[in-house]
Structure 1
Amino acid sequence: MRFAAAPVGDLRWRAPVEPPRIEGVEKATRLPPICWGLAMDYPKDGVDEDCLFVNVWTPSRATPQSKLPVWVFIGGGGYISLTNANWNGAEVVEKSDQNIVMVNFNYRVGIFGFLASERVRENGDLNVGLLDQRMLLHWVKKHIGEFGGDPDHVVIHGASAGAGSVAMHMIAYGGREDKLFVGAAAESIFFPAQPTVPELEYQFDRALNQTGCQDKSPRSEQISCLRKLPTAALQAANFYQPFPGRPQWPQPLFYWTPCIDGTFITDLPSNLFQRSRFVNVPVLFGTDTDEGSLFAPNADSPSAVATFLGNNYPNLTPNLTTSILAQYSKPLPSLPQHAPYFPIASRAYGEATFICPSLNVLTHLGNSTKRFSYRYNVQDEENIASGVGVPHLFEAAAVFGPDNIGGHAKASYWTYNAPIVPVVMKYWISFVRALDPNVYRENGSPKWKEWDNKGMERLVLETGKSRMESVSEEERERCAFWEGLGEVLEQRR
């Protein structure tokens, strides 16, 4: 179903608006197209600029009087793509004993979602990908009752950039309470560099040059020129590019990201959490053991690690990268199919971008709300043999069921790792239903203790031996180090 009008033509780089009213019944018999992502060849089946659609899974017997808890999933993809789009929510509805409504949706990404400039602000809106998400939450508030959902019991849940988006909605408009959700779950909060608008003028200028709109004047004609272009012309400018002053190769992993616009995002996220400028709701946050392994280069030297980190966090100086390498001077085990410095690159990037943001945000939330944390450590023989350990978002197959995530699940989830699926799925369903993962957890699974800033206990999820652990002193110290670099990384000021 449409939750917003097609964001094309004059609606490019504007906040989403209500869709036109359609009389009669629309057949919701197939999944909608997803939004254009970075470096996708044009044209492509199942992809369209007209992409602001929502999917709803609800028990067949649900009525407007059912008032069922609502699970809203925000997919990830680094804000440059939608890698988790249209995941199937049927199984979690079934395994909840028909006691929840599941929702997922598309939002604009890449150049279409995060093009930033004062010239955009003058005749449009910034961070329109996040504004799409916010529009969807308002759509849920207004319409989910028609599907049996309770508009006053909505839990938002995201993966990677979707998890980062969950954090963004907690601090949106300086932590303004719009009563759009009552709980928040986040798999691997993603905090890349999040620049201010003046720092991103070069991206807008590049887009003008790459599309032939650079000679338009006055300034207002530049954005008008971009809005008149065919989708194919904009998609041709939607590709990986180096940050200013950095080498052409290797290029950054995430070129388009949210910016500090002064309105939706009033300051850098970690700074807002530190100042208690957030919506105070129960949270369930966690990460995987080897978050950086799918992103790190096969580094064979310290200089290769330093170059990689600098290309992704361009404000890092040589002295700072030396300090970073010193944090990871303790020898790490070698990994199959990888060069000697890959483990350091993997751990450093994983902690800087996913693990430490999650731990630091949990700490800043304080004791005024329920907090639950986890480390996903389910071992897969194929992952181990390829040297990636327990990689980013490996828990997704257990959260939604391995049949429901578009072919991304490893074979072990149907064999020796099958027992972890109901354990993880029931914890998540319980959090959606009761704002506590313990109430409806799988029989025999351990009680999930709440996080506190002193003990820093989190649940380790492993097949057959899930248990609580405390975050090690070494990890705490490294996360404190990364938080100290927050201004340079543009995660906090």
Structure 2
Amino acid sequence: MRFAAAPIGELRWRAPQPPQDENDKGVQKAMAQPPQCPQALQGAADRNPFLANGTGGHGLHKRQSAGVAPTDTPINEDCLFINVQYPGNTVPSTKLPVLVYIHGGGYILGGANLYDGTFLIEESNQGAILVVMQYRLGLFGFLAGNEVEKNGDLNVGLLDQSFALRWVRAHISKFGGDPEQVTLWGKSAGGGSVLQQVIAENGKTSPQLFRAAIASSPYLPAQYKYDDKIPMTLYKQVVDGVNCTSAHDTLTCLRQTDTKALQTINSNINEAGFYGSFTFVPVVDGKFITRRPTKSMRRGKVNGQTLYVVSNSHEGDMYVNNATTPLSAGSFASQLFPTLKSKQMAEIDSMYKDLGSPLDQENLLVGESLFICPSYFLLEAFKGASYKAEFAVPPAGHLNDIPYGFPSSSEALTPVNFDNPAFIDSFAQSFVSVACYLDPNVKMSSTSITPPWSAYHPNNIEMVFNKTADNQPDIHPASSDIGLLERCKYWQSIGQITGQ
């Protein structure tokens, strides 16, 4: 279903607007998956082209797609659609809890088509509604700079998400959902989007659009102020790349540019980024996102009452090019965060030097700095009204947990790698229990084997979802890794330098 007007022409880089057919009250068919927003692939270069010392290279390497694999789903700039699934064939007579999902893909790829909610509705005992939204991606969703701020809107991809949540609040009761029982969930950049919505508007969004937040592997890259050097350079690259350089009003020129030309430069700029990274991402805009995320989270001003965070044991491995000679940890960190100085590079070298081979250090550094530590920053922000889990079934890579909640994603991502019904029910029901009861301890069925689960406090217990060597479920509480928490404190302490 359409939740916003087509963001084309004059509506490019403007906040989402109500559908233009809003007054059409007739029944409309909603029988097919929506077209995906324009897509791009992750960076493939040996070096970050935005390194402060200017030594960034542009060598390209074959690499796997990160986030979500491309599909044969049609691509269209008119892509602001929302999917709603409810139990049975008729709208439920009682108001049910609502689970709203934001797809991942590094803010540059992905779509709603991979996320069929049938299984999760079954896991809820037919007691929940599942909603999946789409939002503008890449330069279409996250172009920044002074010109966009003057005659448009920044972070329109995030504004799309907020607009979709307002659509849910206004209309979900027509599908049997309770607008006061909304849980927002996302994975990877979707989890990062949840983080952004949690801190949006200084945590004072009115009305509150969700009561619980679930962040799976929340992605938090460098998030610069909209008029910092890198966002401004990106804007110039887009303008130059579509021959708008000599235009009196470059943003008007971009709005008049053919989608295909914009999509070409979108792909080129993203692929020229450092291997495994994503170039067009949220910025600090001063309005919706008022300050750096780590600073906002330390203030503890959040939207939502309850938080559930899930990290995977090996988040970073798929974002590291193991076909090249590994850099030292500090040098590698400077590729992820090009504003790092030699002092921080030396500190990072020292912090990771005893944690395996250089490649092991790179894998760990990516996973911790971009995904795992942001999970703990969120936990700190919610101060006790939160739960933490770790998905540890080998290889426990960044995407391996998705098919446990969305079996429909298996073909495009990775299949379930531990096909044990009791384990699958227990892991999937943890999300549904939070959505329905704000507590993963509530058993949705007798098949759940998860032991009692304490709310998270600093250095406290988190639930580990793993398997034994002989392929039996191993779900148990464990203390947080003290060394990891210390490294996260370091990453938090240099947030002003990394831009996080």
Q: One fold, TM greater than 0.5?
A: yes
Q: Does residue 371 of the first structure (1) align with residue 386 of the second (2)?
A: yes
Q: 1:213 aligns with which of 234, 241, 244?
A: 244
Contact 1:55 1:86 in 2 (8 A): no
Provide structure 1 residue ranges, at least 5 long, that are not aligned to the other structure.
333-339, 380-388
Q: CA deviation at 1:251?
A: 4.9
Bigger Cα displacement from structure 2, 140-149 vs 171-180: 171-180
Provide the C-alpha distance between the structure 2 equivalents of 1:83 and 1:30, rounded to a whole number of angstroms.
Answer: 13
Q: Which amino acid aligns with 1:409?
A: T
Q: CA deviation at 1:240?
A: 5.1
Q: What is the aligned partner in structure 1 of residue 39 from structure 2?
A: 37
Q: Does residue 315 of the first structure (1) align with residue 319 of the second (2)?
A: no
Q: What is the aligned partner in structure 1 of residue 82 from structure 2?
A: 54
Q: Does residue 143 of the first structure (1) align with residue 148 of the second (2)?
A: no
Provide the C-alpha distance between the structure 2 equivalents of 1:252 and 1:222, rounded to a whole number of angstroms.
Answer: 30
Instruction: Identify if the C-alpha distance between structure 1 residues 365 and 287 changes in structure 2 by more than 3 Å, giving closer, same or farther.
Output: same
Q: CA deviation at 1:319?
A: 3.3
Q: What is the aligned partner in structure 1 of residue 413 from structure 2?
A: 408
Instruction: Give the TM-score normalised by the residue count of structure 1.
Output: 0.88
Contact 1:88 1:405 in 2 (8 A): no
Q: 2:489 aligns with which of 480, 485, 491?
A: 480
Q: CA RMSD in A?
A: 2.3
Q: Does residue 193 of the first structure (1) align with residue 222 of the second (2)?
A: yes
Provide the C-alpha distance between the structure 1 equivalents of 2:71 and 2:12, rounded to a whole number of angstroms.
Answer: 19
Contact 1:213 1:225 in 2 (8 A): yes
Q: What is the aligned partner in structure 2 of residue 270 from structure 1?
A: 294
Q: Which amino acid aligns with 1:216?
A: A
Cα distance per residue 1:94-131 (max 9 Å; x no partner)? 23221111000110010000000111111110000000
- The SS at the match of 2:267 is coil
Bigger Cα displacement from structure 2, 469-478 vs 147-156: 469-478
Aligned residues: 462
Q: 2:374 aligns with which of 357, 368, 376?
A: 357
Q: What is the aligned partner in structure 2 of residue 324 from structure 1?
A: 348
- The SS at the match of 1:342 is helix
Q: 2:466 aligns with which of 459, 462, 466?
A: 462
Q: What is the aligned partner in structure 2 of residue 490 from structure 1?
A: 499
Contact 2:181 2:211 in 1 (8 A): yes
Q: CA deviation at 1:311?
A: 2.2
Structure 1 residues 179-328: aligned runs within 5 Å: 179-199=208-228, 200-217=231-248, 221-239=249-267, 241=269, 250-251=274-275, 253-298=277-322, 303=327, 305-328=329-352
Provide structure 2 residue ranges, at least 5 long, that are not aligned to the other structure.
43-69, 468-472
Instruction: Identify if the C-alpha distance between structure 1 residues 57 and 207 changes in structure 2 by more than 3 Å, giving closer, same or farther.
Output: same
Q: Does residue 439 of the first structure (1) align with residue 463 of the second (2)?
A: no
Q: What is the aligned partner in structure 2 of residue 386 from structure 1?
A: none
Q: Which amino acid aligns with 1:393?
A: L
- The runs of at least 4 aligned residues of structure 1 exceeding 6 Å deviation read none
Contact 1:286 1:373 in 2 (8 A): yes
Instruction: Identify if the C-alpha distance between structure 1 residues 410 and 252 changes in structure 2 by more than 3 Å, giving closer, same or farther.
Output: closer
Instruction: Give the TM-score normalised by the residue count of structure 2.
Output: 0.87
Q: CA deviation at 1:180?
A: 1.0
Q: CA deviation at 1:307?
A: 4.3
Q: CA deviation at 1:300?
A: 6.3
Provide the C-alpha distance between the structure 1 equivalents of 2:278 and 2:450, rounded to a whole number of angstroms.
Answer: 37
Q: What is the aligned partner in structure 1 of residue 9 from structure 2?
A: 9
- The SS at the match of 2:266 is coil
Q: Which amino acid aligns with 1:365?
A: F
Instruction: Identify if the C-alpha distance between structure 1 residues 418 and 306 changes in structure 2 by more than 3 Å, giving closer, same or farther.
Output: farther
- The SS at the match of 1:412 is coil
- The SS at the match of 1:154 is strand
Q: 2:430 aligns with which of 411, 423, 427?
A: 427
Cα distance per residue 1:269-303 (max 9 Å; x no partner)? 11111112212411100200001011012276563
Contact 1:39 1:238 in 2 (8 A): no
* Identity percentage of aligned residues: 33
Q: What is the aligned partner in structure 2 of residue 28 from structure 1?
A: 30
